[in-house]
Structure 1
Amino acid sequence: MDRASIVHENFLRRVAAGDLPEGAPPSGQLSAPAAVSIFRSQCLSRALDRQSRAMQKAGQGFYTIGSSGHEGMAAVAAALRPEDTAFLHYRDAAFQIARSAQVPGQSPAWDILLSFASSSEDPISGGRHKVLGSKVLNIPPQTSTIASHLPKAVGAAYAVGAARRHRPEHAEFADDSLVFCSFGDASANHSTAQGAFNTAQWTSYQSVPLPLLFVCEDNGIGISTKTPKGWIAASFAHRPGLKYFSCDGLDIFDTFRVAQAAAHYVRTCRKPAFLHIRTVRLYGHAGADVPTTYLPKAEVEAEEANDPLLHSVRLLDQSGALDPASALGIYNDTCARVARVADEAVTRPRLKTASDVMASLIPPRRACRPTNGPSAERRAATFGADIKAMAEPQIMSRLINWALTDLMLEHGEIVMMGEDVGRKGGVYGVTQKLQARFGADRMIDTLLDEQSILGLAIGMAQNGFIPMPEIQFLAYLHNAEDQLRGEAATLPFFSDGQYSNPMVLRIAGLGYQKGFGGHFHNDNSVAVLRDIPGLILACPSNGADAARMLRECVRLAREEQRLVVFLEPIALYPMRDLHAEKDGGWMNFYPDVSESIALGKVGITGKGDDLAIVSFGNGTYLSHQAEPELAKAGIAARIIDIRWLSPLPKKALTQAVKGAKNILVVDETRHSGGVAEALVAHFHEVTDVPLARLTAQDSFIATGPAYAATMPSKESIIAAARALVEGAK
């Protein structure tokens, strides 16, 4: 027999024989009805685990990582409230089932079996993955995460405190709620988890409200790698700003008592706590995993002898809540009921087409209160002397600053966060004065950790805020890109559009900075952003466009719940001149607050038919520098600014190049994996005119005089354009 069958048969035999494991007597305030309800949840979780394996063997189920050994989490759920947001470890089916018992009208067996069967009727993911989760139960779905959900749990907890000061329009939580986040002992060692713990401690140390309960389910092993005995307690028992609790997850009375105490501490003190729960792992890591291939059989059997359901039967009997025969009856009845329900669940429809699968990549629109913007008096009081400066053309960085000011005046749920964004006003001064204008609770100076910055934003976004986090430099994003890919972008996909993380992430990036940085401060790779389904990537080339596009980005986040990245070309922040010193050719007036540039609308300068130059960011600026020289050479050109790098505005681009005899793509990103690859492929599909691309080399960027040597220049654009046009004649 496999280990699941062995554990099942052992339970039947030992309960019938009264052969129950030894342990401490029941303690605490867990009532008899509550204890029996917890046991029922444990039995259902166990029965579902066994059924998932039967379904997979029959080709009717597709995921078997289970919760067996972790059923004590049902007692933790009983100690919390249904309105407490719960980010669950993938072994927490018992938690979800027990929470279902707290909310009328729930059918956890049916819901979870639909998930096992990948049915499109699965109420959380719509058949896209086997995930725990429920909108009604305040359990956002998590995939098989290795700690990647911890940073956003910190952000969600921060949002609870922040909402007391600025309650956003779409907040859906009580003021005294807490955030629950569980994970395994192996995941606690992940750098992402350690960053989240540190951020929680850093926040708590400064007495900033953070009602967050971390729960480490310690079964002593991560797949096949043992966690050193005592490591979790030694590592977490004495951390500053993080109160430590521990309990025996095999004992539902002890677990309920300690979880109640931990929750009370978090809820009343508004500080984070760490609850360390002893568990065992039954059946191995997942269905295909055979634990006896890497563990001694005797050790596996010793864990099985400590089956938490056997301990629960003993405790229920000792407390007088339920005798063993009745407990065995509940277990058998539950197994039989799950088998009957599974027979129906496997007949339910599944996703079939690509459009079915992709239907939830883009979250649904949501109703938002109308806004007429701030009054003239409020704008004047906020902007001060800057109102007078708006009568003159300005550089990009200043226009972005003014656009952010107007947006924060109009939308009180906008919160900005990042390293140095507040007091300093950003590395390049883009956010200067904003903390003085709106306060430190809306302009949050964070610790230096990109994962924590994005986690803060994701958690706050899920709780109704419109975060505008900042990553100082594009290269720094690579420390944290999974927070976008694995968390923010996937949440609507795996929740069938029920959850989302609307935000506008500002990143200073691209190349051409003179005498500063090298490859860490000049990064011309955006492939990782363009590869994320559902993410919008915007990149302005001038200040007026930047202001108008920012307004559209905030609208997309606020009304359409979109995940947006706004890539700001660092080299263009201070750019004043275009062709000659002091010509002011690249400065702009601040556009009226009513003006915006819609998603997918490209910019077109000129009407020349000889050549269409398609570019973005610095490439657009350089193409404008090249255009007079091309005109002297008899080449009439038009310049098309893409603006929206993902998804590419294909219809607008096709229309923009119509009538052009040649198309030159100027791309400051790399030759391999750069934006030009997609642009040339698109134009090849929709036109038959000669095409060429000018890109950066496949290289990192150097510091010093060679700062632009690997990227397009005015001269190389002119040369490439002449070669294309003259070669086509």
Structure 2
Amino acid sequence: MDRAEIVHENFLRRVGAGDLPALSVLTAKQAGLDHAALLTLFRAQVISRQLDRVARRLQAEGQGFYTIGSSGHEGVAAVASALRPTDPAFLHYRDGAFQVARAQQVPGQDPIWDMLLSFTASVEDPISGGRHKVLGSKALSIPPQTSTIASHLPKAVGAAYSIGLMRRSPPPMPEYAPDAIAFCSFGDASMNHSTAQGALNCAGWTSWQGAPLPLLFLCEDNGIGISVKSPEGWVSAVLQSRPGLRYFSCNGFDPVETYATAREAADWVRHLRKPAILHMSCVRLYGHAGPDVEAAYRPMAEIEAGEAHDPLLYSAARLIAEGVATKTDILELYQSVFDETSSKGQEAVKRPKLSSAADVMTSIIPPKREVARVNGPDPDARAASFGPSDMRALEAPQPMNKLINLGLSDLMLHFPEIVMAGEDIGRKGGVYGITKGLQSRFGAHRMIDSLLDEQSILGLSLGLAQNGYIPMPEIQFLAYLHNAEDQLRGEAATLSFFSNGQFTNPMVLRIAGLGYQKGFGGHFHNDNSLAVLRDIPGIIIGCPSNGYDAVLMYREAIRLAREEARVVVMIEPIALYPMRDLQEAGDCGWMRSYPGPEARAPLGQVGITGTGTDLAIVTYGNGCYLSHQAMAELGEGVRVIDLRWIAPLAEEALLKAVEGCDRILIVDECRRTGGQAEALATLFGERLDVPVAREVAQDSFIATGPAYGVTMPSKASIVAAAERMLRR
């Protein structure tokens, strides 16, 4: 027999023989559990266990697709019982018993059937629609998680922050109650991941400063991560050393002790609005997953010692000791749940599956949502907020940095649910002054000076977004995004996909980036690669080339986030922030005026300068500026097309924009490999019959000093490339 069957037989034998573990002196009554509640809790644990057993059988039959089970972690059912079903819960992947226990708190739920539909990848799976086996439920306030490395912890911190923020600045459509607490769970091995450490640090850092953060962490310590043991005492030492976090611990085998400690911890968090950690001991049964053969890396004596601490045995001992149920009652309940689960499993395999690419991809883009229309900023309020200097700036041409600043001010006046967060964006106004003055206008609660951790910045924003806010986080430099890209790929972009559009996290992410900063910072501050963003399904990427377009695009970005729940990434070309002149000093050829209140740049629209038909230059960002410089030498036969929106590519608009042109030159400041030019050349090659050439950056990092620009396109190289094409 495999280990699952051995654990099963051990349970039957030991309950039947009364060979049950010793319990603490704490009684259910003292913990606040009556007999009915204790029996309900045990039933949740048994359901979770039998789901694990049936999942393994379904996989063996080729009908099930997930066997990372919750066996040994059933103590989390007691934690769920100590919380409210409206408390948002971001769950560890072994928390099946938590979801079952919470489902028992909400009328109309059938956790056995729902989870079997997930195991069998049915389109009727109520959380993911058959796309993935994930714990999650809209009705139970459990967003689905995609990660096994605790990447959901940063957004749990954000969700807790959003609850604390509600009392001061409530969003128009909140998801959580003002007195809710956020809950998140993770394993002892995942605790060592930088994402978990960053989230614990961010929570403590926030609490240390007195900001409300009602968050309960649960570390489920089974002592091993796949095959690597946690060193003795390591987990408790790490968790207890965290400043700003209250530490609780419990024996996760005993449901009464776990419930009592979890309730104490939850009440502490809810009352004081401060974060806490509950450290729960447990055991991993059956190995890591179905195909895992534990005996290959663990001594059999160690495996059997763990199986002797089966939490269901402790719960059975509780039921008997408290006079809630007899041995016969327990075994009958255990068998009846298995019979029900097995029967429903055979029905679940017959339910329809996803069958086409279109079906799978339907939920990548969230559904549009109804939002209340709001009027623009009151003129008097605007004048009072902006002050005389900025009111005058609205009337005269300005460089991009100033126009973005004015545009962000207008948006924050217009939409009080916008919250910005980032390193140095508040008091300093950002490294380049883009957010200067906004904290004094809108307050530190809406202009958050974050700690220096990109994972925490994005996690904070994901949590805010799930509670009705429109976050606008800032990543200080494009190269720094790589520290946190999984918060976009693994969390932000997948939430709608894995929840079948039921959960969303709209946001507008601002990133200062791209090349051409003269002699500053090398590749850390001159990063000319967007490949990490371009391959993420569903996100929108914009890159303005001038201040006027930037304002229009930010208005559209906020509309997309607010009305369509989209994740939008805006890349701001640093080198163009202060740009005033185009051809010669003092010509002010790249300055723009502030646009009227109704104007915006819709997604799918491109910018066109010139009407020439000899050559179309297709570009964006700094390339657009350089191409406009080149136009003066190339003559009237050239037109410049500004992509504006890099993803998704506005294919039809681009094809229309180059219509009638004899040649196409793609100017891409990103690298030859992985740059936008690859997709553009493919589009034009597949759809048109005209010569296409690329003028792109080399596959190189950027140097510091005078050589900063030699690996990227320049005015001269664009002119040369255009003339080569025109001579053909």
Q: TM-score, normalised by structure 1?
A: 0.99
What does 1:440-455 align with in structure 2 at a 5 Å threshold? 440-455=444-459
1:570 equivalenced with 2:571 (yes/no): no
Pick from 37, 58, 62 the counterpart of residue 59 of structure 1: 62
Amino acid across the alignment from 1:285: H
Of 473, 477, 487, the residue aligned with 1:473 is 477
The question of whether the paired residues in 1 share the 8 Å contact of 2:146 and 2:494 is answered with no
Corresponding residue of 2:625? 621
Work out whether residues 70 and 280 of structure 1, in 8 Å CA contact, stay in contact via their aligned partners in 2. yes
Alpha-carbon displacement from aligned partner over 1:680-706 (angstroms, at most 9, x marks no partner): 000001101001001000001111111
Of 364, 383, 386, the match for 2:367: 364
Output aligned runs, 1:372-411, within 5 Å: 372-385=375-388, 386-411=390-415
Q: C-alpha offsets along residues 499-547 of structure 1, whole Å, 9 cap, x if unaligned?
A: 0110000000000011211100010000010110000000000000000
CA contact (8 A) 2:700 2:711 kept: yes
Which residue in 2 is equivalent to 1:663?
Answer: 664
Q: Is the aligned partner of 1:545 residue 2:542?
A: no
Match of 1:430 in 2: 434
Partner of 1:330: 333
- Please state how far the C-alpha of 1:383 moved relative to its aligned partner: 1.1
The residue number in structure 1 matching 2:721 is: 720
For 1:496, the equivalent position in structure 2 comes to 500
- Asked if 1 retains the 8 angstrom alpha-carbon contact of 2:677 and 2:696, the reply is yes
Please give the secondary structure, in 2, of the residue aligned with 1:142: coil
Paired letter, 1:147: A
1:531 aligns with 2:535: yes
| Alpha-carbon contact 2:419-2:471 (below 8 Å) kept | yes
Counterpart-to-counterpart distance in 1, 2:68 and 2:146: 11
| Structure 2 residue matching 1:507: 3-state secondary structure | strand
Q: 2:424 corresponds to which residue?
A: 420
Equivalent-residue separation in structure 2 for 1:180 and 1:398 (angstroms): 41
The share of aligned pairs that are identical, in percent, is 65
Alignment map for 1:228-243 (pairs within 5 Å): 228-243=231-246
Aligned partners of 2:237 and 2:632: how far apart in 1? 69
Q: What is aligned with 1:593? A: 597
Q: Do the aligned residues in 2 keep the contact of 1:117 with 1:345 (CA within 8 Å)?
A: yes
In the TM superposition, what whole-angstrom CA distance separates every residue of 1:8-66 from its partner, at most 9, and x where no partner exists?
11111111111112332443222111110000000000000000000001111111000
Q: Give CA-to-partner distance per residue, 1:564-612, whole Å, 9 cap, x none.
A: 0010000000000000100000000000121101001000000100000
Distance (whole Å) between structure 2 residues aligned to residue 523 and residue 726 of structure 1: 34
Task: Count residues in correspondence.
Answer: 724
Give the stretch that moved more between structures: 197-206 or 138-147: 138-147
2:167 maps to: 164
Q: Could you tell me how far apart the structure 2 residues matched to 1:719 and 1:606 are?
A: 19
* 2:185 is the alignment partner of 1:182: yes
**Does the CA contact (< 8 Å) of 2:50 and 2:337 recur in 1?**
yes
Aligned amino acid, residue 656 of structure 1: A
Q: After the TM superposition, which residues 555-704 of structure 1 pair with which residues of structure 2 at under 5 Å, given as runs? A: 555-631=559-635, 636-704=637-705
Q: Report the counterpart of residue 6 of structure 1 in structure 2.
A: 6
- Give the corresponding residue for 1:44: 47
Alignment of 1:90-169 (within 5 A): 90-169=93-172
* Whole-Å separation in 2 of the counterparts to 1:409 and 1:672: 42
Shift of 1:238: 3.6
The 3-state SS of whatever aligns with 1:52 is: helix
Structure 1 unaligned regions, length at least 5: none
In structure 2, distance between residues paired with 1:723 and 1:563 = 40
Task: Write the letter of the residue equivalent to 2:372.
Answer: R
Aligned with 2:608: secondary structure?
strand
Counterpart secondary structure, 2:136:
strand
Letter in 2 for 1:571: A
Distance 1:246 1:403 in 2: 49
1:20 is aligned to 20
The amino acid that maps onto 1:282 is L
For residues 418 and 293 of structure 1, what CA distance do their matches in structure 2 show?
47
CA deviation after TM superposition for structure 1 residue 323, in Å: 1.6
Q: Matches of 2:539 and 2:86 in 1, distance apart? A: 29
TM superposition shift of 1:4? 0.5
Alignment RMSD (CA, Å) = 0.7
Corresponding residue of 1:217? 220
The answer to whether the aligner puts 1:268 opposite 2:268 as a matched pair is no
* Residues 238 and 244, structure 1, Cα contact 8 Å, conserved in 2: no
Q: Residue type of the partner of 2:349?
A: V
Aligned counterparts of 2:231 and 2:360: Cα–Cα separation in 1: 42
Whether the aligned pair in 2 keeps the contact of 1:611 and 1:725 (CA below 8 Å) is yes
Q: Secondary structure at the match of 1:707?
A: helix
Deviation per residue, 1:482-506 (Å, 9 max, x gap): 0000000000000000001100000
Q: Deviations 1:547-566 (Å, cap 9, x if unpaired)?
A: 00000000000000000001
Task: Give the match's secondary structure for 1:140.
Answer: coil
CA distance in 1, matches of 2:10, 2:727: 83
Q: Secondary structure at the match of 1:132?
A: coil
Q: Does the aligned pair in 1 maintain the 2:65–2:120 contact within 8 Å? A: yes
Instruction: Give, as a single letter, the amino acid of the residue that structure 1 aligns with 2:17.
Output: A
**SS of equivalent to 1:612:** strand
**Structure 1 runs of 4+ with >6 Å offset:** none
Task: Report the Cα distance in structure 2 between the residues aligned to 1:277 and 1:470, rounded to whole angstroms.
Answer: 36
* Structure 2: distance between partners of 1:692 and 1:345: 54
Whether 2:341 is the aligned partner of 1:343: answer no
